[in-house]
Structure 1
Amino acid sequence: MPQGKTYRVIQWATGNIGSRALRAVIEHPNLELAGLWVSSAEKDGKDAGELCGLAPVGITATRSAEDLIALDADCVLYMRQGTDWDEICAILESGKNIITTRGDFHYPAMIDPENRARVDAACIKGNTSIYSTGSSPGFISEAMTIPLLSLARRHDMLTIDEFADCSSRDSPEMLFHIMGFGQPMAPFDQRRAEHLKGDFGSTLSQIAAAIGLPFDEIEAKGELSAARNTIQIAAGRIEAGTVGAMRTTITGLRHGKPVLRFRANWYVTTDIEDADWNLRDSGWRVRTEGDTPLLVDIHFPVPEEDYAAFTPGLTAHRPVNAIPMVCEAAPGIRTTVDLPHVIPQFA
Structure 2
Amino acid sequence: MSSGRLPFRVFQFATGNVGTEMVRKTVQHPDLELVGLYCYSKEKVGRDAGEIVGIEPIGIEATNRIEDVLAAKPDCVTFFGVWPDVDLFCRLLEAGINIVTTSDWITGHARNVNFTHSSGKKATELIEAACRRGGATFYGTGMNPGLAQILAIVNTAGLSRIDHITVTETVDVSCHRSVETWKRHGYGRPVEDPEIPQMFKAGATVFVDSIHLIADCCGVEIDDVDFEIQLGACTEKVDLGWWVLPKGSVGASLAKYIGKAKGEPKIEVHLEWQMTPKTQPKWNVQNCYLIAIRGNPQIMNRHMILPAMDSGQMDWSNPAYMASIGMTITGMPALNAIASVCDAKPGLMTSADLPLRAFAGRFHQSR
TM-score interval (norm. to shorter) = 0.7 to 0.9
Where does residue 213 of structure 1 map in the other structure?
A: 220
Residues 1:191 and 2:198 are matched in the alignment: yes
Find 2:299's aligned residue among 294, 314, 324: 294
Q: Deviations over 1:70-118 (max 9, x none)?
A: 22210000122432222111111111100001223x2256653543222
Q: Distance between the aligned counterparts of 2:185 and 2:355, measured in 1?
A: 38
Q: Distance between the aligned counterparts of 1:180 and 1:110, measured in 2?
A: 21
Q: Distance between the aligned counterparts of 1:154 and 1:189, measured in 2?
A: 38
Where does residue 308 of structure 1 map in the other structure?
A: 323
Where does residue 52 of structure 1 map in the other structure?
A: 53
* Alpha-carbon spacing, 1:222–1:169, altered in 2? closer, same or farther (3 Å): same
Where does residue 107 of structure 2 map in the other structure?
A: 107
* Alpha-carbon spacing, 1:344–1:70, altered in 2? closer, same or farther (3 Å): same
Letter of the structure 1 residue corresponding to residue 286 of structure 2: D
* Alpha-carbon spacing, 1:176–1:14, altered in 2? closer, same or farther (3 Å): closer
SS in 1 for 2:83: coil
Where does residue 361 of structure 2 map in the other structure?
A: 344
* Alpha-carbon spacing, 1:95–1:296, altered in 2? closer, same or farther (3 Å): same
Please list, as runs of the form range in 1=range in 2, the aligned pairs for 1:263-302 lying within 5 A after superposition.
263-268=270-275, 279-302=284-307
Please list, as runs of the form range in 1=range in 2, the aligned pairs for 1:307-326 lying within 5 A after superposition.
307-326=322-341
Cα deviation for residue 55 of structure 1 reads 1.7
Letter of the structure 1 residue corresponding to residue 107 of structure 2: Y
Where does residue 139 of structure 1 map in the other structure?
A: 147
TM-score in terms of structure 1 length:
0.87
Q: Deviations over 1:129-161 (max 9, x none)?
A: 0000011110102x2112111121211111111
Q: Distance between the aligned counterparts of 1:70 and 1:168, measured in 2?
A: 36
Q: Distance between the aligned counterparts of 1:233 and 1:252, measured in 2?
A: 36
Please list, as runs of the form range in 1=range in 2, the aligned pairs for 1:105-254 lying within 5 A after superposition.
106-108=106-108, 112=112, 113-141=121-149, 143-166=150-173, 179-180=186-187, 183-187=190-194, 189-196=196-203, 198-226=205-233, 234=240, 243=250, 245-254=252-261
The answer to whether the Cα contact below 8 Å between 2:189 and 2:250 also exists between their aligned partners in 1 is yes
* Alpha-carbon spacing, 1:44–1:315, altered in 2? closer, same or farther (3 Å): same
Aligned residues with identical type, % of pairs: 29
Where does residue 256 of structure 1 map in the other structure?
A: 263
TM-score in terms of structure 2 length:
0.83
Letter of the structure 1 residue corresponding to residue 362 of structure 2: Q
Q: Distance between the aligned counterparts of 2:104 and 2:159, measured in 1?
A: 28
Letter of the structure 2 residue corresponding to residue 212 of structure 1: G
Query: Is the deviation greater in 186-195 or in 12-21?
Result: 186-195
Q: Distance between the aligned counterparts of 1:100 and 1:255, measured in 2?
A: 33
* Alpha-carbon spacing, 1:268–1:203, altered in 2? closer, same or farther (3 Å): closer
* Alpha-carbon spacing, 1:33–1:253, altered in 2? closer, same or farther (3 Å): same
SS in 2 for 1:304: coil
The answer to whether the Cα contact below 8 Å between 2:76 and 2:342 also exists between their aligned partners in 1 is yes
Q: Distance between the aligned counterparts of 2:275 and 2:200, measured in 1?
A: 19
Query: Is the deviation greater in 92-101 or in 82-91?
Result: 82-91
Q: Distance between the aligned counterparts of 2:181 and 2:71, measured in 1?
A: 38
SS in 2 for 1:207: helix
Residues 1:9 and 2:10 are matched in the alignment: yes
The answer to whether the Cα contact below 8 Å between 1:160 and 1:261 also exists between their aligned partners in 2 is yes
Where does residue 116 of structure 2 map in the other structure?
A: none
Q: Deviations over 1:285-327 (max 9, x none)?
A: 1111111211112333340313123211011111111110100
* Alpha-carbon spacing, 1:64–1:172, altered in 2? closer, same or farther (3 Å): closer
Where does residue 118 of structure 2 map in the other structure?
A: none
* Alpha-carbon spacing, 1:252–1:168, altered in 2? closer, same or farther (3 Å): closer
- CA RMSD, 1 decimal: 2.9
The answer to whether the Cα contact below 8 Å between 1:188 and 1:222 also exists between their aligned partners in 2 is no
* Alpha-carbon spacing, 1:308–1:17, altered in 2? closer, same or farther (3 Å): same
